[in-house]
């Protein structure tokens, strides 16, 4: 079945350092979404990428969708303690009729102040 | 801002007992999802509704799990009998429709089976 893989599983950084998490799919995706889950919280939608090669920015966060629409990345510049949490990518399989959204296992980011 | 409501927030039960979780999606959202999240993992889709119809329940253990959304609004997920391996966070989410829309998650029900 469709799999969405994320690396790294964990990342610990000093405040001010940059952070990147990568997402890869075994199949072409129609789009990819990113969610953030704070400790003890629930996933909260961050952004959706649809076009091949698309790049979107939200303040210090930069999201990219690969040319082949099989991979994506989230980059945070100059991390802050408020960035702590688990970042999930989730992809919709290209084609088909179910529009099933499959989540990766996530990357847990911890930030040392 | 409208939210997805879930209850209970926590549930402790003994194995072989029945448990039920309730979800009220954001008003007007046609698509409702039940996900299971094990600690340290990503959410795994159990069942997806479009209005009152099930559109995907391929990962739902149908021998013990059931889900319904009779009037196409709120939904109930039931487990009977509960097993130790069912301990997890059960998240409900909704979206305006199933065509590549963003999901709004509820706070979840944390289930512990003893």
Task: List pLDDT tens digits, range B5-50.
Answer: 999 999 999 999 999 999 999 999 999 999 999 998 999 999 999 9
Nearest-CB residue to B42 (from A31, A41, A103): A103
- Cβ separation of A42 and B48 shorter than 8 Å? no
Q: How far apart are CA A20 and CA A27, in angstroms?
A: 22
The answer on pLDDT for A2 being more than 70 is no
Subunit contact A88:B42, Cβ cutoff 8 A: yes
- Interacting residues of B108 by C-beta distance below 8 A, sequence separation 6+: A42, B6, B9, B37, B89, B90, B91, B92
Residue A96: pLDDT band with limits 50, 70, 90: low
Q: What pLDDT sits at residue B77?
A: 98
What domains are defined for chain B?
5-107 (2.60.40.10)
C-alpha A52/C-alpha B10 separation (Å) is 42
Question: With respect to CATH, is domain A6-112 assigned 3.20.20.70?
Answer: no
- Tell me: the pLDDT tens digits for B90-106? 999 999 986 768 999 99
pLDDT for position A93: 75
Contact check, Cβ <8 Å, A98/B100: no
Mutate to test the interface with B, among A101, A103, A106 (most CBs of B within 10 A): A101
Closest residue in B to A48 (Cα–Cα): B102
Band of the pLDDT at A104, cuts 50, 70, 90? very high
- Coil vs helix vs strand at B85: helix
Of A102, A94, A88, the residue nearest A6 (C-alpha): A88
* Cα angle A46, A47, A53; round to 5: 145
pLDDT digits (tens, 9 = 90+) for A58-76: 999 999 999 999 999 999 9
| Residues of B in Cβ contact (< 8 Å) with A51 | none
**Distance, CA of A54 to CA of A38 (rounded, Å):** 26
Q: Assess whether pLDDT exceeds 60 at residue A97.
A: no
What span, in angstroms and rounded, lies between the C-alpha atoms of B103 and B23?
A: 14
Residue appearing with tokens 């097993």: B83
Question: Quick check: B42 and A45 CB within 8 A?
Answer: no
């Amino acid at each position: 079945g469709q799999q969405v893989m994320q690396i790294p599983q964990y990342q610990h950084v000093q405040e001010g350092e940059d952070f990147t998490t990568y997402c890869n799919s075994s199949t072409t995706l129609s789009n990819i979404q990113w969610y953030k889950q704070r400790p003890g919280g629930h996933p909260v939608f961050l952004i959706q990428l649809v076009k091949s090669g698309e790049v979107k920015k939200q303040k210090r966060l930069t999201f990219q969708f690969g040319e082949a629409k099989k991979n994506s990345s989230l980059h945070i510049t100059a991390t802050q303690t408020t960035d702590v949490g688990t970042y999930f990518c989730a992809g919709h399989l290209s084609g088909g009729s179910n529009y099933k959204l499959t989540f990766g296992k996530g990357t847990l980011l911890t930030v040392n102040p | 801002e409208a939210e997805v409501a879930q209850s209970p927030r926590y549930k402790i039960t003994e194995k072989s007992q029945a448990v039920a979780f309730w979800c009220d999606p954001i008003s007007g959202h046609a698509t409702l999802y039940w996900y299971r999240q094990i600690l340290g993992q990503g959410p795994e889709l159990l069942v997806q509704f479009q209005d009152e119809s099930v559109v995907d329940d391929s990962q739902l253990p149908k021998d013990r799990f059931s889900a319904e959304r009779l009037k196409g609004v709120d939904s109930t997920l039931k487990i009977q009998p509960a097993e130790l391996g069912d301990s997890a966070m059960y998240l409900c989410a909704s979206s305006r429709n199933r065509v590549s829309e963003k999901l709004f998650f509820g706070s979840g029900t944390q289930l512990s089976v003893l």
